[in-house]
Structure 1
């Protein structure tokens, strides 16, 4: 066997050692959708039975507040859960209960009003459940018995609560989300 010239054999040897392993890269795309509700829940105004996501609070004069933690201007509303609407209510009838957790911008344990140049000051919104107890921001309400055959109205009441002894007049609105947990 004939030997290769030195420069040729060195070139082959260097090319063998210089070979590297290349990783191949790529991209995976994920697409999907997170839905906001698996079960339609209606917000009902008990006064006139209207349905919508607006609870119109009553006007309260700032001078009616003279101390911290005074509730004024109660406004009832209900969250209606209807059977056969995809809510997964159990059979036999009337074995389910539900709790509601409200969440929003916090003002202590309750819900801050939206900040704006003309916003009221020294008040928050408090929501009370069927027992009359405040439902703290992020906590579950009392349990409500659900019917599996008829619509269930889970009743609540919203109030303006003073967070200061002197309340300043202005717009007092809030955006509060809710989650209904069926037990």
Structure 2
């Protein structure tokens, strides 16, 4: 009798193991885009004409900020749109561009938060203003900029520090902000 139970138990265990290892089916969704209309936008420092992705904001004393919402100029910068074919500019046609900036938002959701780490400045964010002087809030489009199809167009913006607290603490006040230029 014991010899009959062992083969039966072994047969049952083999059946369970083979059932667990059976194949299942499912779906994998791959999402992406192939885009041939890449436009090489340059970031230009108007003061020096240097091209690069770093905008020097300078040094500001925290004592300049005494209330929430106070702004202190940092620097301006240019997004240069070339006339290359990848920019989808209509020859002779009215071409306009807008820019959407995105980054880590401050508590208000409008401005661009500075990086937070030990020793970093606190109570301050970055605000970007377009050619009309209006703030370009995080995730929203700027005012339109007329674009030329024959010469490179400079879209000028101004970057400011803005206090998000009545007390601003000193330290590095850096932020990373992405941009998307939309050409119509």
Which TM-score tier does this pair reach, normalised by the shorter chain? 0.7 to 0.9
Measure the CA separation in 2 of the matches of 1:121 and 1:24: 52
**What's the secondary structure of 1:160's corresponding residue?**
strand
1:70 aligns with: 70
2:158 corresponds to: 157
Q: Does 1:169 align with 2:143?
A: no
Q: Sort the Cα spacing of 1:24 and 1:67 in 2 relative to 1 into closer, same or farther, 3 A.
A: closer
Q: How many residues align?
A: 160
User: TM-score, length-normalised on structure 1?
Assistant: 0.80
Structure-2 separation of matches of 1:82 and 1:115: 35
Over 3 Å counting, the alpha-carbon distance change for 1:31 and 1:75 in structure 2 is closer
Does the 8 Å contact 2:37/2:88 carry over to 1? no
CA shift in 2, pair 1:116/1:26, >3 Å: closer
What residue in structure 2 maps to residue 19 of structure 1? none
Q: Aligned in 2, Cα 1:24/1:170: closer, same or farther, shift over 3 Å?
A: closer
Listed as ranges, the gaps of 5+ residues in structure 1 are 1-22
The answer as to 2:89 corresponding to 1:118 is no
Question: Cα gap change, 1:43/1:37 in structure 2, threshold over 3 Å: closer, same or farther?
Answer: farther
Aligned mates of 1:117, 1:63 — CA distance in 2: 20
Please tell me whether the aligned partners of residues 97 and 146 of structure 1 are also in contact (alpha carbons under 8 angstroms). yes
Within a 5 Å distance, the mapping from 1:1-183 to structure 2 comes to 38-93=38-93, 95-107=94-106, 108=108, 109-183=110-184
Could you list the per-position Cα deviations for residues 29-77 of structure 1 after superposition, in whole angstroms to 9, with x for gaps in the alignment? Answer: 9798767971110000000100011111111000111111111133000
CA distance in structure 2 between the aligned counterparts of 1:68 and 1:29, rounded to whole angstroms:
46
Q: Give the greater-gyration-radius structure (CA).
A: 1
Distance 1:25 1:58, change over 3 A: closer
- 1:86 is paired with a residue of what secondary structure? helix
Q: Scaled by the length of structure 2, what TM-score is found?
A: 0.79
**Deviations 1:139-174 (CA, angstroms, capped at 9, x unpaired):** 000000000000000000001000111100011001
Q: Which consecutive residues of structure 2, in runs of 5 or more, have no partner in the other structure? A: 1-22
Which secondary structure does the structure 1 equivalent of 2:63 belong to?
Answer: helix
